[in-house]
Structure 1
Amino acid sequence: MRLAFRIALRFLSSSKGQTVLIALGIAIGISVQIFIGSLIEGLQISLLDATIGSSPHITVSASEKNNPVNDYLALEDKIDQQYSQIMYATPSVSGGAFMKTNDKTEQILLRGFDLNQANSIYKFSDKLISGSKLPVSDNEVLMGVSLAEAFDVTIGETIEILTATGEVYPAKVVGYFDLKVASINESWIISPLSFSQNVMGLSKDQVTALEFQVEKPFDADVISDQMTSDNLSDQIKIENWKVQNEQLLSGLSGQSTSSLMIQVFVVISVVLGIASVLAISVLQKSRQIGILKAMGINDKTSSLVFLFQGFILGIIGGLLGIAFGVGLLIMFSKFALNADGTPVVPIFINIKFIGLSGFIAVAASTLASIIPALKSRKLSPIEVIKNG
C-alpha cells in the first residue's frame, strides 16, 4: 500500500495543473454545499426563533370556550413533575377589555402573567423600550409601543381599564414593550396575574391558560399528544405550536428538501467530474502503468494508485472547500445587511455539518476513483508497451 501511495503522489505531482483543477472543482462543490446548507439552517433557526422562540410551545386551556382552568397550581405542578421535557411554564389570563386615556377609548387585549415565570418564555426584559421596567405592584402594566404612541401615553401615566360590564380599574403604565409583531404592539397590555384575574372576574386559583416551553420545539406535538392520552383532566384541551403553524412547518420542510436536493446534485457533479478526469488520467498514464506491471506490480496495487489519488484529492479539495465555504458565509454576513446593520440572514456555523461536508468530499472523491481504478486493472502490460 505504501508503494501505491507513493506512486499516486508522484502521478499527482507530475500533473500539477490537472491536480489543482480537480482539487478546485471539489472545493467549489463542497463550498457551495456548506454555504447553502448553513444559509438555510440559519434561516430556519431565525424563523423559528422569531415565531416560537418567545412564545409557548404547548398551551393548556379549558375545554369549554370562555371557561377558566380551575386549580391551576395543582395542574401546573402535576405537568411539571410528569414531563421532564418541559423547561418553562407560566399561568396566564387573557381577555378583551377597553383602555381609556386622554378622553379616548380603545379596545385592548389584557394579558396577565406571573411575570417571573413568563419572562423565561416571552423574554419581556429584553423587549422593553428604554426607560421601561417590569411591573412590580398589582396595578402596574406594560403597554405595546405602537399602542402607546397612538394614544400618546407616557411612562408613569395612569390609564383606566374598563370591562364589558362597566367596571373601571386604574393602572399605572411603567413601560413599553416591542415584541416585533405589529398586532401585539398595537393591542396588548401586560399586567401581573392578580390584576388580570380581578379585571376578568376570576378567583386566585383560576386562569385562562397554562403555557409551556419544551427543550426541543419539534417534539411539542409528541409531548402534547402524550399529555392528552394521559388524561390529565377531562376539563382541559391541549394544543401545540405545530398545529397552529402548519404553513410555517410546510415552508421549513420545503426549504430543507430544496437544500438537500441542491447538495445531492452538487455531490453528483463532483463525483462525475473526478471520475471523468481520473479516467482520462488512466489513458495518460497507461504506459507508466504498463511498465510498472511489467516490473512486478500486480493489479491490486495499480488499482490502489488511483484510489489513493481520489482520496488525496478529496482531502485537499475538502479542506479548501471548508475554507471557501466558511469564507463565503463570513462575507455574506458582512455585506448582506439590513438597514439596521444586522445580517439579512443570521449565519449559523454548524461544526458537525461542516465536518460532514468534508467527509463527503473525501468519500465522493474516493468513490469516483473506483471507475478508473477498475479500468487500470484491465490494462495488459504487453499490449500497452507494444502499442506505445
Structure 2
Amino acid sequence: MRLSFTIALRFLKSGKGQTLLIILGISVGVAVQLFIGSLIQGLQASLIDTTIGSSSHITIVPANGKTSIKDWERAMYEAGISDSNIINISAAAEGSATIDYDDTAPVLVRGFVVDDADKIYKFSEGLYEGRLPVKKDEAIIGKDLALKSNTKINDEITLILPSGNVTRLEVTGLFDLEVSSLNESWVVTTIETAQDMLSLDSSITKIEMQVKKVFTADETAKDLAYNLSVNDVEVENWKDQNQSLLSGLNGQSVSSYMIQVFVLVAVLLGISSVLAISVVQRSKQIGILKAMGIKDRDSSLIFVFQGFMLGIVGAVFGIILGFVLLWFFTKFAVNPDGSPIVPIYINIGFITLSGMFAVCSAVAASLIPARLSSRLNPIEVIKNG
C-alpha cells in the first residue's frame, strides 16, 4: 500500500499539467457548491427571520365558538413543560378599536405581559423614542400611526371600542418594527389595560410562543395539542399559515440541490476522463511494474490514491475559493446602506460536507481508471510498447 501511494505521488508530480487541471476542476466545483449553498441558506434564513423571526411560531387560540381563554395560566404552564423546543411564551389580550384624531383609523389593541412579549416581538429593540408601558393605561404605538395621528411622547390617544366605550391611553414610547402593517395599526399596552378595555375580565385571547427549531413547529404544535388539558382551545403553527412561503423555500432548496448535483457529476466525469487517459499514457510503466511483481490490487490503488490526494487538495482550495467568492458577493451586492443584499450564512457542517463530497467524488471517479489498470496485461503492454 505504501508503494502504491509513493508511485501515485510520483505520477502526480510528473504530470503537473494534468494534476493542476484536475485540482482546478475540483476546486471550482467545490467553490460553486459552497457559494450557491451558502447563498441559498442565507436567503432562506433572511426570509424566515423577516417573516417569522419576531412573531409567534405556535399559538394557542380559543375554539368551539369561544372568544377567550379563561384557564390561560394553566395552559401556559403546560406549554412550558411540554417540550424543550418551546421558548418565549407570552399571553396576549387583543381586540380591534378605532383611534380618534382629526380623522379616525382602525387599530389593533394588543395587551401583553410586556417583558414576556418583548422576547418575541423585540419591542425594546424597535423602540426609538420613549419607554415601554409598565403601568395601567400606558401604551406604545408604531411610527406610522404616530405620524398619521400626529402623536408624540406623553400625548394621550383616544380609542373607541366596538362596544362604544371610550378609553384614553398615555403614549410612553414609539416603535419601528420594520413592518408597515404593524407600525400603523398596533397599539401595545399592558395586559391588565387590554383586559379592562375589552371587557375580558381575567381572560386572554391567545397564547403565543416561539420554538428553537422553527421548521419543527408543526410537530411541536401537534404534541402540545395532545398534551394540553385545557378545554376549548386549539393550537396553530406558522407552517400551516405560511404555505406559500414554505413552497418558495422548498423550491429554492430543490434548485440548489439540483445545481450542486450537476456540478458534482461534471467534476466526477472530468476526473474519471483525465485519470483514464493517464492509465493509457502510463500503461507502459504500469506494465513494467506488473512484470516486476506488483499485484493488480496495488496497481489499482495507485489511481485510487491519486483520486484521494486530488480530492483533498481540490477540496481545500475549493473551500478557500468559495469563501473568496462569498466575500466578493458581500462587497458588490449591497443595499444602499452598505449591508449585503443577502446575508451570507456560514454553516460549518455544510462546508465540511461539501469538502467530503469532493473527496468521495474524486475517489469514486478514480475507480474506473483503477479497474482499467488492474486489467492491463504486462506482456501485451510491453510488447506493443
TM-score normalised per structure 2: 0.97
Shift of 1:355: 0.8
SS in 1 for 2:133: coil
Shift of 1:323: 0.4
SS in 1 for 2:130: coil
Shift of 1:78: 2.5
Aligned partners of 1:65 and 1:96: how far apart in 2?
A: 18
Shift of 1:365: 0.3
Shift of 1:315: 0.7
Shift of 1:51: 1.2
Aligned partners of 1:343 and 1:245: how far apart in 2?
A: 26
Aligned partners of 2:344 and 2:171: how far apart in 1?
A: 38
Amino acid at match of 1:5: F
Amino acid at match of 1:188: W
* Percentage of identical aligned residues: 50
Amino acid at match of 1:331: F
Shift of 1:188: 1.0
Q: Which residue of 2 aligns with 1:104?
A: 103
Aligned partners of 2:297 and 2:68: how far apart in 1?
A: 77
Q: Which residue of 2 aligns with 1:349?
A: 346
Runs of 4+ deviating beyond 6 Å: none
Aligned partners of 1:323 and 1:84: how far apart in 2?
A: 38
Q: Which residue of 2 aligns with 1:272?
A: 269
Aligned partners of 1:351 and 1:196: how far apart in 2?
A: 46
Given that residues 82 and 227 in structure 2 are in contact (C-alpha distance below 8 angstroms), is that contact kept between their aligned partners in structure 1? no
Matches within 5 A, 1:290-305: 290-305=287-302
Given that residues 92 and 208 in structure 2 are in contact (C-alpha distance below 8 angstroms), is that contact kept between their aligned partners in structure 1? yes
Q: Which residue of 1 aligns with 2:5?
A: 5
Aligned partners of 2:249 and 2:293: how far apart in 1?
A: 58
Aligned partners of 1:356 and 1:270: how far apart in 2?
A: 16
Higher mean alpha-carbon deviation, 160-169 vs 274-283, is at 160-169
Q: Which of 145, 149, 152 matches 2:150?
A: 152
Shift of 1:228: 2.5
Q: Which of 167, 176, 179 matches 1:178?
A: 176
Q: Which residue of 1 aligns with 2:198?
A: 200
Shift of 1:227: 2.6
Q: How many residues align?
A: 385
Shift of 1:32: 0.3
Aligned partners of 1:264 and 1:84: how far apart in 2?
A: 36
Aligned partners of 1:17 and 1:79: how far apart in 2?
A: 64
Q: Which residue of 2 aligns with 1:124?
A: 123
SS in 2 for 1:377: helix
Aligned partners of 2:265 and 2:186: how far apart in 1?
A: 52
The answer to whether residue 215 in structure 2 is matched with residue 238 in structure 1 is: no
Q: Which residue of 2 aligns with 1:75?
A: 75
Gaps of 5+ in 2: none
Shift of 1:356: 0.9
Amino acid at match of 1:107: P
Q: Which residue of 1 aligns with 2:61?
A: 61
SS in 2 for 1:55: coil
Aligned partners of 2:218 and 2:295: how far apart in 1?
A: 60
Amino acid at match of 1:320: F
Q: Which residue of 2 aligns with 1:249?
A: 246
1:259-294 alpha-carbon deviations (Å, 9 max, x no partner):
111111111111100000000001111111111112
SS in 2 for 1:172: strand
TM-score normalised per structure 1: 0.96
Q: Which residue of 2 aligns with 1:21?
A: 21
Aligned partners of 1:106 and 1:159: how far apart in 2?
A: 12
Q: Which residue of 2 aligns with 1:169?
A: 167
Amino acid at match of 1:91: A
The CA RMSD over aligned residues, in Å, is 1.3
Aligned partners of 1:3 and 1:75: how far apart in 2?
A: 70
SS in 2 for 1:87: strand
Amino acid at match of 2:303: F
Amino acid at match of 1:124: F
Shift of 1:79: 2.2
Amino acid at match of 1:345: V
The answer to whether residue 220 in structure 2 is matched with residue 218 in structure 1 is: no
Amino acid at match of 1:119: D
SS in 1 for 2:294: coil
Aligned partners of 2:145 and 2:228: how far apart in 1?
A: 41
1:139-187 alpha-carbon deviations (Å, 9 max, x no partner):
2211111111122211221111111232221111122212222211111
Given that residues 66 and 232 in structure 2 are in contact (C-alpha distance below 8 angstroms), is that contact kept between their aligned partners in structure 1? no
The answer to whether residue 382 in structure 2 is matched with residue 363 in structure 1 is: no
